[in-house]
């Protein structure tokens, strides 16, 4: 049954991939090799984007290419077997972070991540996806279904954080509003204090009209390539935003959360969302440009570099906003080379950072990023993605980089001038 379910899911994905560069345009030129951080770290030919994509493409060839059906030995076409499906688990979830650096460096525009995502969807259908990713996605759905069970505890936590906010701003009136109808912004954090307190400080300092979501921004359905769960998890935030009648949803520093709600959700739901979606990076850029917060860059005197999250940067287009902000709040900003569209993945994307048993492979895949960081001589690495933050902290320990990893919001708070 697992093989049948996987093949059915692949057929669904094929209708979307047929005729695209992902399905049949690869020239096997090898340009993607040097673009892939996994290959550069391992030097294993099986880790090249073209090798990984061909493993999936040959199944499509067997089912849909007339020449492959007549002469499979010529084209390498093969039926999907249980043994091959089991091998796809590491191919799809461990050996590719869906960073899309191969795409921007491919002369044919081959979108290998689309094929990898199709393989992930097939593995979900077959019940072979990494268990931890499935559990995290299910927990997010359960949190909404049982919202009343944890609401009081959540509000108590917010009250405790509010005390820290008031102490930091020296303002007993500073608040973290919850369920405030008609606010301009619905801010969606992650579950950690580091994505709540800094933003609350900055929103209050800017006299923003805002309210905070009761749900976290992360969407592990996306990492699974499970469209149904991705849609269900995104729907929690969409329904909350509609209920509160906000003008826009602002997402915390989380790459995949931004990509999902900003770009994928309208496709999942088949219509534009009734509110604007922005990243907190865009809001901070606005605050800096409009001088809504008072900043002193001398408070950040150590050399700073910035890691472009694949989802926010290469996929999301947020390349200049964080740089304008860093230049406004730090004295010594040093770029990694390469950067922006050509930035290397940290090695922990695509959900990989959550799968403990693959940590060795993840740390190895992060070596190109560790080398980049070391060459800057920076002491502070800013990254606007929580997965990247966890990964770079581990790279710091493993490769002895001697850095501190922080977020753009925290760097702003450090530079904030409080009356």
Do 301 and 275 fall into the same domain? no
At 79 the pLDDT is 86
Do 197 and 70 fall into the same domain? no
Given strand 404-406, what is the order of strands in its sheet?
Answer: 304-307, 380-383, 404-406
Do 56 and 173 fall into the same domain? no
pLDDT digits (tens, 9 = 90+) for 12-46: 877 666 555 455 678 788 889 999 999 999 999 99
pLDDT digits (tens, 9 = 90+) for 228-255: 999 999 999 999 999 999 999 999 999 9
User: 182 or 108: which carries more pLDDT confidence?
Assistant: 182
Q: Is 131 helix (H, G, I), strand (E, B) or coil?
A: helix
pLDDT digits (tens, 9 = 90+) for 324-335: 999 999 999 999
H or E, element range at 276: strand 276-279
pLDDT at 303 over 70: yes
Do 120 and 188 fall into the same domain? no
User: CA-based angle 350:355:360, to the nearest 5?
Assistant: 100
Please write down the HEC assignment for all residues of 376-405.
HCCCEEEECCHHHHHHHHHHHHHHCCCCEE
Q: Which is nearest to 393 in space by CA: 348, 343, 331, 337?
A: 348
Residue by residue, DSSP assigns 353-369 as: GG-GGGHHHHHHHTHHH
pLDDT at 214 over 90: yes
> Percentage of residues in the chain with pLDDT exceeding 90?
79
Longest Cα pair distance anywhere in the chain, in angstroms?
A: 77
Quote the pTM value: 0.93
pLDDT at 208 over 90: yes
- Residue ending a domain, among 110, 129, 148, is 129
pLDDT at 220 over 60: yes
At 59 the pLDDT is 85
Cβ neighbours for 44, distance < 8 A, ≥ 6 positions apart: none
Cβ neighbours for 137, distance < 8 A, ≥ 6 positions apart: 219, 220, 221, 223, 224, 226, 229, 233
Average pLDDT score, the chain: 92
User: 297 or 31: which carries more pLDDT confidence?
Assistant: 297
pLDDT digits (tens, 9 = 90+) for 359-418: 999 999 999 999 999 999 999 999 999 999 999 999 999 999 999 999 999 999 999 999
Report the number of distinct structural domains present in the chain.
Answer: 3
Do 138 and 281 fall into the same domain? yes
At 21 the pLDDT is 47
- Residue ending a domain, among 253, 271, 287, is 287
Residue range 185-203: average pLDDT?
A: 96
At 147 the pLDDT is 79
Do 76 and 155 fall into the same domain? no
- Residue 192 sits in a domain of what CATH number? 3.40.50
Do 387 and 255 fall into the same domain? no
Contact between 238 and 265 (Cβ < 8 Å): yes
- Residue ending a domain, among 268, 287, 306, is 287
Do 16 and 109 fall into the same domain? yes
Do 273 and 326 fall into the same domain? no
Alpha carbons 2 and 5: distance in angstroms, whole number: 5
Average the pLDDT over each of 10-19, 71-80, 259-268, 289-298 and give the range with the smallest value: 10-19
- Residue 120 sits in a domain of what CATH number? 1.10.1060
Whole domain around residue 303: which residue ranges? 294-415
From residue 342, alpha-carbon distances to 30, 62, 80, 204 in Å are 17, 35, 34, 36
At 301 the pLDDT is 97
Do 271 and 144 fall into the same domain? yes
For residue 48, which phi and psi values (nearest 5 degrees)? -70, 150
Do 204 and 264 fall into the same domain? yes
Alpha carbons 347 and 94: distance in angstroms, whole number: 10
Do 79 and 18 fall into the same domain? yes
């Amino acid at each position: 049954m697992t093989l049948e379910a996987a093949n059915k899911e692949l057929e669904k994905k094929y209708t979307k991939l047929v005729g695209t560069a992902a399905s049949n345009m690869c020239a096997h030129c090898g340009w993607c090799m040097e673009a892939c951080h996994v290959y550069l770290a391992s030097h294993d030919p099986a880790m090249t984007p073209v090798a990984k994509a061909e493993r999936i493409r040959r199944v499509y060839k067997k089912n849909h290419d007339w020449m492959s059906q007549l002469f499979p030995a010529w084209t390498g076409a093969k039926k999907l077997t249980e043994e091959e499906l089991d091998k796809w688990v590491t191919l799809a979830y461990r050996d590719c972070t869906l960073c899309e650096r191969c795409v921007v460096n491919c002369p044919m525009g081959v979108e290998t991540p689309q094929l990898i995502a199709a393989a992930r969807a097939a593995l979900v259908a077959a019940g072979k996806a990494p268990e931890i990713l499935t559990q995290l996605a299910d927990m997010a759905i359960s949190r909404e279904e049982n919202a009343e069970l944890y609401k009081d505890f959540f509000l108590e936590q917010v009250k405790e954080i509010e005390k820290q906010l008031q102490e930091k701003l020296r303002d007993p009136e500073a608040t973290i509003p919850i369920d405030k109808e008609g606010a301009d912004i619905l801010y969606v954090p992650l579950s950690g204090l580091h994505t709540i307190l800094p933003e609350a400080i900055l929103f209050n300092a800017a006299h923003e009209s805002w309210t905070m979501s009761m749900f976290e921004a992360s969407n592990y359905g996306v990492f699974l390539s499970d469209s149904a769960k991705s849609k269900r998890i995104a729907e929690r935030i969409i329904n909350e935003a509609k209920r509160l009648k906000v003008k826009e949803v602002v997402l915390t520093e989380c790459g995949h959360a931004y990509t999902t709600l900003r770009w994928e959700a309208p496709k999942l739901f088949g219509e534009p969302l009734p509110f604007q979606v922005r990243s907190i990076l865009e809001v901070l850029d606005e605050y800096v440009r409009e001088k809504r917060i008072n900043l002193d860059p001398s408070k950040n005197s150590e050399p700073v570099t910035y890691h472009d999250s694949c989802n926010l940067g290469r996929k999301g287009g947020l390349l200049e906003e964080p740089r304008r902000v860093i230049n406004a709040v730090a004295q010594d900003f040093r770029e990694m080379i390469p950067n922006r569209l050509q930035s290397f993945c940290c090695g922990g994307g695509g959900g990989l950072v959550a799968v403990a048993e693959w940590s060795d492979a993840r740390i190895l895949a992060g070596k190109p990023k560790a080398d980049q960081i070391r060459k800057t001589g920076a002491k502070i690495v800013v990254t606007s993605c929580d997965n990247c933050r966890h990964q770079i902290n581990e790279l710091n320990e493993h490769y002895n980089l001697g850095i501190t990893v922080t977020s753009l919001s925290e760097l702003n708070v450090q530079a904030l001038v409080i009356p």
